[in-house]
Structure 1
Amino acid sequence: MRDLQRRQQGAGNKTLPEATALTKNLRTPQANLAKIKLLVCLIAILLILLNIFGSSRCRHNNWKLRIPLWAAYTLSSYLIAYTLGLITEASFRNEMLPVWAIFLMIFFGSSDSYSVHSLEDCERWKNYGWQYVIKFTGVIILLFMYGITSWMISVLFILGLTVPLKFSNRAASLLSASGYGRQMTTKLIADYMSSEHQSSKGDLDPCQMRGYNYVVKVGKTSSTPLKKLKEREAAAQWDAPNYRESLKITDRVVTIEKVWKCDGWLLRSDGGDKDSKLKDICLSFSLYKLLCLRFGGHSLPKQAHEKLWKLIQHLYAGGKGYERAFRVVELELSFLFDSFYTKYPIIFMPTGWTIKVIELLLMVTGSLLTIGLCFQYNSNRHKDELQLATRGGWSIDVLVTALILIVFTCGELVQFFFMAISEWAKVSLLCNYVQNPSWHKNKRIEKVIGLICRTQLLKPWERKLRQYSLLESYDYNPPRWLYNSFTVMFIDLIRDGQKHSAPANLSSEVKKAVVRSLMSNPETLKNGEASLRRNNVADKFAWACRLEMQTQVIIVWHIATSIFEHSVPISYLISDPDYLTATSLSKYLAYLVTFYSNLLPDHPHNSEYAFNEIIIETRCLLKACKTREERIRTLNRISNTMDNNGRVIMQGA
C-alpha cells in the first residue's frame, strides 16, 4: 500500500515539472515569434473578408453573413492591438517586426466598405482617433529602438506615409456619420433649401425638372470666416444678416435642372438615356441629400414640401411609374446606408480621389520595396537563430510578409473595383459630364461613362419583405440555454413567440398598392379608414383603425387577414393580386411589431410589452390547438360566441 502511494506521489511530482516546462516553452522567443506570425496572418485574412463582403451587408439580411462580418470587424481591432503589444514588447530582434507593425496600422483603417458596424460606433469617433495615435506612437518608438538598415528605412517611410492617409479617411467618415457630423455637413443644404422654393417663382415643370434647383454636387468651396470678413470689408457693405450659409448656383454647382437640361447625347431622352435611369441616379443622390436633413435635425418649410410633392407625383405617373419610384428610392436609401457605414462620402469629396491615387502610388512603391527587402532578408536568414525555413529555402518570415502583401494588394484592388462601379462614382462621372461640354463631343468618354453607369453587379437592396405570422409562431419557445437573463448582456434576447417566417419577394402588386395608396390622397391618410369607406364597411370596422396603440391596430388586422387567408379557395389566393398584397404587407407589419418596434409610432417599450401580452393571451386561448386548422376553427368559434373584451386576438377574430 505504501509503495502504491509513493508511486502516485512520484507521478504527481513528475506532472508538475512537465506543466512548468510546457509553460516555459510557450514563453520562449520562438513561441512568441510563432504567435505573432499566426496573428498577423489571421488579421490579414479577416481584412480581406471585410473588403470583399463588406459591401454586401445591405443586400443580404442574413445572419450567416452578418455574424461572420461582425466577428471579423470586432476581432480585427482587438487582435491588431494585441499583436502590436506583442511586437513592441518582444525580447528578441527580428527585422520583419517593424514591417509587420506598419502593415497592422494600415489594416486598422483600410476597409472602405466597412468603416463601422453600427451607428453607435460612429459616435465613438474620438475614441478611434486616440486609439490610432496611441498605437502609432508605440510603432514609432519601436522603429527608433531598432537599428534598421537604409533599405528598411525607405520601406518603412513609404509605408508609413500611407498610415495617416488611411487614418484620416476613416476618422473623417466616423465624424461625418456621427450626430455632430450630420448636423455640420447638412447645414449648407438646409440653409439653401429653406429658400430654394422661392427661386422657381411658380414656373415648375417636373417633366423637364424646370425650376428644381435641388443640389446634386457642390464644387470645392474655399470660403472661410476670415475670407468672408475681407469680402465684406472690401465691398464696404453691411446688410442685415440672416445668419445662414449661402450657396450660389454657379458653374461649380450641379443641380437637377442642369442634369435634365444637359445637351449631351448620353443624358438625352432621345439618345443614351431613353429610360431616364442615368438621370435618375443624380435625382436619387439629390433626394438623398434632402433625406439627410432629417437625420441632421433640420426641416423644410411647407412650400418646399409642396414643391417636392409635385415632383413625386411626376415620378409615379404612367403605367410603370411605381417601378421608377421604387428604383429612385432604392438608390436614395443606398446612398444613405453608405453615408453611415462606409468611407464613400469622404472618398468622393473633391479631394478624396486625389488621396486615393496617392495611396495607390504609395501602395505600389511600398510593395515593390518590401519585395526587395524580403529577398535581402532571406539571403541573410542564417544570422538570426529564430528564423525557420521551408524545404525550398525560403524563410517563414518572408512567406508571412508575402501573404500580407498579397492580402494588402488584393484588398486595395477589390476596393478600387467596387468604388469604380459604385453609385457614388456614377454620380461623380455624370456631374463631371454635365459640367464639361467638351465631353459631349467625345464618343469614347460617353461610352465609358455609360458602361460604368449601367453596370450593376449586385442589386442595391434585398428586395424582400420580412414576414411574421402570429398564428404560426405564438407557441415558439427560444432555447433557454442561449437566450436568458445572463446572455442578454452579450446578445439580443429572443422572446417567446418571436420567430419570423420565410421572407416574401417585393412583388409588383405590393409596389402598385403602396404607390396607389400614396397617390390617392396622401395628406388625408387615416390609418386604413379610407379603404373601409371605399368598400362601404367603415361603419362596421372603423373602430379597428382607432385603437389606442398602432401595435394593436396592426395585430388586429393581421389576425383578421390570417383567418381570411385560410378560408378561401387556393385557386383564388394564387390568382388574386389583392390577396397577395394584403397577406405580404400584413405579415410585414407584424414583423415590424415583433422585431423592429422602434420603427413604429408607438414607444418601443410599450410596443414590446403589448406584444408579450398578446403572446400570453394567444397561448391561453389556443392552448389545446395543435394544428393551424384547429386554431382557425377556434378563432372562428370565438368570434361567433364571445363579445369584444378588448383583447386584440378576439378583436381580430
Structure 2
Amino acid sequence: MFVVTVAKAIFFTMKRLFQLDNASNLASVELWVVMTTLLLVVRFLIDFSGPWYSNRFTFATVQIIELLNYNMVHYTLGLMQLSSARVNDYFQVWAVLMVTLQYSVKIGRPYGRSKRIPLLDLMSSVWAANLLRVQTVLLLQIPLWFVWSANAARIITYFLFSDMSVTRNDENVRLVCDYMRYEHTHSDTANTDSMSGYKYLVFGEDRQEMKLDLAKFTLMLDMEHPKLITVEKIWGLHDSGLLGRTADPDDQLKDVCLSFALYKLLHRRFYDLPIHEAQQDKTKKLVFEGILKDKDDDYERVFRVTGVELSFLQDLYHSKHAQLFVRGFPFPSLCLSLVLVAVTGYIAYPVHQIHNRIDSAVLNRNRITHGAFITYIIVGLIIAKEIAEIIMYVFSQWTKIHMICMHIKHPKFGQFWLVVKAMRCMFWLIRKGKWKHQIRQYNLLISSRPRKHIMANLFPRSIKLESQVKNAIFESFKGLNFLDPRPKTNNGLDQNPVRLEAYFSYAFGSKGDLMQQLEWAIDLEADTHRILVWHIATCLCEINLSDNAYGRKTFWMKPRPFVNRSRAPEGVWDHYITASSLSNYCGYLLVKELVPDTGLVVQKVFHEVRLETNRATSKLGMFMSLFDIYDSLMVKAKKNEKPKEEESLQVPQTLGDDSLITEQVAGQDDEGGDYPADALVNEEDPENDVDGDGEDEEDTIIMMGTRLGKQLMDRYEADRIGLWADLAKFWTGFLLHLAANTGAMKHRMHLAGNGELITHLWALLSHAGILGGSHVEHLLDPVNLANINTANRDMTDPTRYPTFVN
C-alpha cells in the first residue's frame, strides 16, 4: 500500500511539472529549473571524476552538456521574466542559485578557454541580478545578494588572474631552465642514497630576488636563502620527525618532493627549452642507481615517483590546481567557498516562508507546486559541490608539497608529535597521483569488425601490468646504460647511452642469419607499419601457442592475451605475457595516435589495415574461431609464396588433434560468454580466397605480418621459450623506442587520462638524459628567455639521434 502511494505521488508530481505554463504555454519554470540543475550536476560529476579530454566520446558529451547548460540557464531566466508581471521570490532564489552552480561546476578547464567561459558566466550573473533587483523580503534579499556578489567576484577574479597565473608558471619553467645551466657547479659529487649533490629546485625559487651574473649573463639564485628548498636539503633532514630516516624509511614523503622537482624539469619539454643536465653523469645515476634501485624488483618506486610527477602536469594543464597554488596555499579561495556554503545554507531558512507570502493565484499561474522542496535540493547540491571542491584541493599532492616545505622552513613545528601525527593522517588521505598499473589493450585480429572496433575505442579493455612485464621493461631500460661497448667513466657509467634504435639487434642479435631474414620487417616506412606488422605476427604466434584455438570464438572475446597462465607451457609464461600484452598495448597506442608518426599517417594506415584484416576474415562468419583466422591467413600466405601448389598448409602441432578440425564446436568461451556451434572453415574450400579476386596481396600489411609470423614460427619450431623470449625483448625495446620518439605534445594530450605506461617511460627517459637536450643551442639569458618560441615541439635532437626523425 505504501509503495502504491509513493508511486502515485511521483506520477502526480511529474504530471504537474510537465503541464504547460499558463503564461507562456510552455513547460513550467519549475520543470526547467529541475532539468537545468540536474544537467549542471552531471557536468560537475564528470569534472570531479577527473580530466576527460583524452576520451573522444566523453569530450563530445561534455561539449554538448556545456552547450545545453548555457542555453537552458538563459532560457530559464528568460522564462522567469515572461511567466509573471512581478517576479516572485522563488524565481529570484532559483536564478541566483542556478548561475552560482553554472560557474562553480566547472572544475577542469584548460588555460586556452579561460577567456571565453568567464565572460559567458558573467553575462548569466548579470541577468540574474536583473531579476534580483526587484524588491523582496529583506530576510531573503541580503543573503541572495551576498551569494550573487561572491559568485561574481569569483568569476571576475578568475578572469583577471588566470592569465597572470599562466604567465607566472611560464616564467618559472624558464627560471628552472636557466638555473639548470649551472646547477652542477654547486657540487663536485653526487650520491643517490643521500641525494647530496642534487640541488634540484623544489620550492621557493620564485620567492627571492635573483642576482644577475654579468660575466655569464645568467640569473643566479641564492642557494642559502631560507625559503629555497632543494632535493638535497630534504634528504638531509636525518633527525626530522616527519622526513627523517626512521620516520620515512621508504622515502615515500621525500619522493613526493622529488616528483615535484622532476615535474619542473619535465615541464621544459613542452616549451622546447634546452635540457642542460642531459649530458651529466649524475643525471643518469639518479635514474639508474636511484629511482630504479628497487629492493624486490617490483619497481614500485619508479611508478610512484613518475605517477605523482605526471599528476602535477595533469593538474597544470587540465585543472585549476596550478592556478590556485601558484602563490601558495589558496586560503582566500577556500575561505570564500566556506562562506558561500554558510550563506547558501542560510537561504534554506527563509525559503519555507515564501509559499505563505505569495498569492495562490501567482503560484497557480506559474505552476509552482514544490518550490520549497526544489529549492532545498538545489541548496543541498551547491553545499555538497563546494565541500567536495574544498576536499579536492585540500587533499591534493599540491597541499602535501606545501605542508612538507612548511615543515622544512619551520622545523620547530616538527617537534610536536601531535602536529606530526595530524600531518601523517592527512597525507594518508591523499591518494591522487597513484598509478593504477593498468595498460589498455587492442587486438587487431579480433577487433577489426566495425562494431568491435568502435566498442574497443570507446571502452578500451585494461589489464594489470604484471610484475614480469615490469621486470622485462626495466631490464631493457637498464640496457640503455650498460650495454654500450664504449669505455666507462670513473664512476662506472657509460659516457653515452646505447642508441634507442638498437631494439631489433637487442632481441635477435645473437642470431645473425635470422636478423638478415627479418630485416625487411624493420626496414619499413614508419613506426606505424612496424607496430602493425609485428603485432599481427605476434598474434599469430599466440594462436599457434594456444591449445584451444578451435573453441575460442572471436565474437565473444575481448582484447587481451589469448593464453591463460594455467594453459601456458612451462617456462614460456613470463616471456609470453610480456610480448603479448605489450603487443596489444602498442595496438592501443595506434588507436589513440600516441606514436611518433603524425596523426594523419596513423589514422590512414591503421584504417586501411583494419579494412584489410576485416576483408581477410569477413567470409569466415560472425562466429569464427582463432584457428579460422590463423588457417585463413596462413593459407593465403602460402598461396602468395607458391601459387601453383595445391596442397594445404599443415596444422601446427600445438593447435591440437587433427580430428577436431571438422568438428562442430559449441560451448563457452574463456571470457564466460556462450557461443553457438559453428563449423570451422575448410582450408580446401575455394571460399578461402577471402577477397575473391585471386590477386597477389603479398605487399599488404596483413600479409606482411602473416609472412613474419610464419618465419618466426618456422625458425623457432622446436624452441617456444626462445621465440617468446626474443619477442619479449623486441617489444620492450620497441616500446622504449616509441616512448622516446613520440613528441612531447602528444604525451601532454594524454595526460588527461588515467596515465599511460608510455608516458611514464618517456618521463623516465627524459630524466635519465637519454632523450638528449633540446635542439635550441643558444645560451638563455633574460632577454632571450622572453623571446623563446613556446610552441610545443618534439624535444629530440636529430643530430645526436638520427632515428628520432622518421
Q: Normalization by structure 2: what TM-score?
A: 0.65
Q: Do 1:528 and 1:545's aligned partners in 2 also have CA atoms closer than 8 Å?
A: no
The aligned amino acid for 2:243 is L
Deviations 1:333-366 (A, max 9, x none): 2222222222222233335522233313422441
Deviations 1:255-300 (A, max 9, x none): 22222122312212222x1221111122222222222222234332
Task: Indicate whether 1:269 and 2:245 are aligned.
Answer: yes
Alignment correspondent of 1:487 = none
Matches within 5 A, 1:76-87: 76-87=69-80
CA distance in 1 between counterparts of 2:78 and 2:193 reads 62
Aligned match of 2:737: none
Identity, in percent, stands at 23
Tell me: CA distance 1:378–1:258, structure 2 relative to 1, closer, same or farther (3 Å): farther
Q: How far does the alpha carbon of each residue in 1:555-609 deviate from its partner, in whole angstroms, 9 at most, with x for none?
A: 111111111112225332896211101000001101112x112x21112111222
Aligned to 2:273: 298
Q: What is the CA–CA distance in structure 1 between the aligned matches of 2:366 and 2:80, rounded to whole Å? A: 21
Change (3 A) 1:300 1:203: same
Partner residue, 2:33: 40
Alignment of 1:96 with 2:90, yes or no, is: yes
> Match of 2:108, SS?
coil
Measured at CA, do residues 286 and 41 of structure 1 come closer, stay the same or move farther in structure 2, by a change above 3 Å?
A: farther
On the 8 A contact 2:535/2:584 being kept in 1, the answer is: yes
Label 1:138 to 1:304 Cα distance change in 2 as closer, same or farther (>3 A): farther
Alignment partner for residue 471 of structure 2, among 507, 512, 517? 512
CA RMSD of aligned residues (A): 3.8
Residue 149 (structure 2) aligns with: 161
Gaps of 5+ in 2: 1-18, 482-496, 548-566, 642-696, 707-806
Is the contact between residue 532 and residue 541 of structure 1 (CA under 8 Å) also seen in structure 2?
Answer: no
Q: Counterpart in 1 of 2:450?
A: 477
Tell me which amino acid in the other structure corresponds to 1:600.
V
Contact 2:40-2:101 within 8 A present in 1 as well: yes
Q: Equivalent residue for 1:442?
A: 416
- Contact 2:165–2:323 (CA<8 Å) still a contact in 1? no
- Paired with 1:351 and 1:499, the residues of 2 have a C-alpha distance of 39
Check conservation: 1:381, 1:387, Cα contact below 8 A: no
- TM-score scaled by length of structure 1: 0.79
Bigger shift: residues 560-569 or 547-556: 560-569
Which residue is 2:104 aligned to? Answer: 110
2:531 corresponds in structure 1 to: 554
Correspondence for 2:580: 583
Structure with the higher fraction of residues in helix conformation: 1
Q: Is the aligned partner of 1:542 residue 2:519?
A: yes
How far apart are the structure 1 equivalents of 2:46 and 2:144? 30
Residues 57 and 238 (structure 1 numbering): CA distance in 2 closer, same or farther, change over 3 Å? closer
Q: Where does residue 601 of structure 1 map in the other structure?
A: 596
Contact 1:173/1:345 (<8 A) preserved: no
1:143–1:624 Cα change, 3 Å: closer
State whether residues 209 and 257 of structure 1, in contact with CA within 8 Å, keep that contact through their aligned partners in structure 2: yes
User: 3-state DSSP class of the match of 2:182?
Assistant: helix
Structure 2 distance, partners of 1:602, 1:342, is 28
Inter-CA distance 636–365: structure 2 relative to 1 (3 Å threshold): closer
CA distance in 2, matches of 1:306, 1:161: 57
After TM superposition, list the pairs within 5 Å mapping 1:299-448 onto structure 2.
Answer: 299-303=274-278, 307-313=282-288, 314-320=290-296, 322-350=299-327, 353-382=330-359, 385-386=362-363, 396-448=370-422
CA–CA separation in structure 2 for the residues paired with 1:498 and 1:110: 31
- 1:74 and 1:30 map into 2 onto residues whose CA distance is 24
Kindly state the Cα deviation for residue 248 of structure 1 after the two structures are TM-superposed. Answer: 5.8
8 Å CA contact 2:51–2:108 kept in 1: the answer is no
* DSSP 3-state at the match of 2:445: helix
- Aligned-pair CA distance for 1:49: 4.1
Work out whether 1:198 is the aligned partner of 2:185. Answer: yes
TM-aligned CA deviation for residue 385 of structure 1 = 2.2
Q: 1:651 aligns with which of 687, 690, 704?
A: 704
Q: Closer, same or farther in 2 for the Cα pair 1:77/1:115, shift >3 Å?
A: farther
**Structure 2 counterpart SS, 1:564:** helix
Counterpart in the other structure of 2:114: 125
Which residue is equivalent to 1:280?
Answer: 255
User: CA 1:36–1:192 in 2, change beyond 3 Å: closer, same or farther?
Assistant: farther
Structure 1 alignment gaps of length 5 or more: 1-24, 480-493
How many Å separate the matches in 2 of 1:238 and 1:205? 29
Deviation at 1:534, TM superposition (A): 4.5
Maintained 8 Å contact 1:217/1:253: yes
Which is further off, 276-285 or 245-254? 245-254
Give the C-alpha shift of residue 51 in structure 1. Answer: 4.4
Provide Cα deviations, 1:409-467, integer angstroms capped at 9, x if missing partner. Answer: 11112222233322222222222222220122111111111122223567744432211
CA distance in 2, matches of 1:129, 1:66: 20
Residue number in structure 1 paired with 2:612: 617
Paired residue secondary structure (2:501): coil
Structure 1 residue 94: Cα displacement: 1.0
Alignment check: 8 A CA contact 1:477 1:497 kept? no
Secondary structure of the residue that 1:601 maps to in structure 2?
A: coil
Structure 1 residues 341, 176: closer, same or farther in 2, change over 3 A? farther
Indicate if the aligned counterparts of 1:44 and 1:404 stay in contact, CA closer than 8 A. yes
Return the alpha-carbon distance in structure 2 between the equivalents of residues 291 and 175 of structure 1. 22
Quote the offset at 1:106 in angstroms. 2.0
CA distance in 1, matches of 2:30, 2:457: 44
For the Cα contact (< 8 Å) 1:192–1:246, is it kept in 2?
A: yes
Residue type at the aligned position of 2:450: N
- The answer to whether the 8 Å contact 1:527/1:545 transfers is no
Greater RCO, CA 8 A, separation 6+ = 2
> Which residue is equivalent to 1:17?
none
Moved more, 584-593 or 522-531: 522-531
Quote the Cα distance in structure 2 between the aligned partners of 1:86 and 1:438. Answer: 60
Contact 1:217-1:254 within 8 A present in 2 as well:
yes
Task: Report the residue type matching 2:240 in the other structure.
Answer: G
**Could you tell me which amino acid in structure 2 is paired with residue 316 of structure 1?**
L
Distance 1:181 1:605, change over 3 A: farther
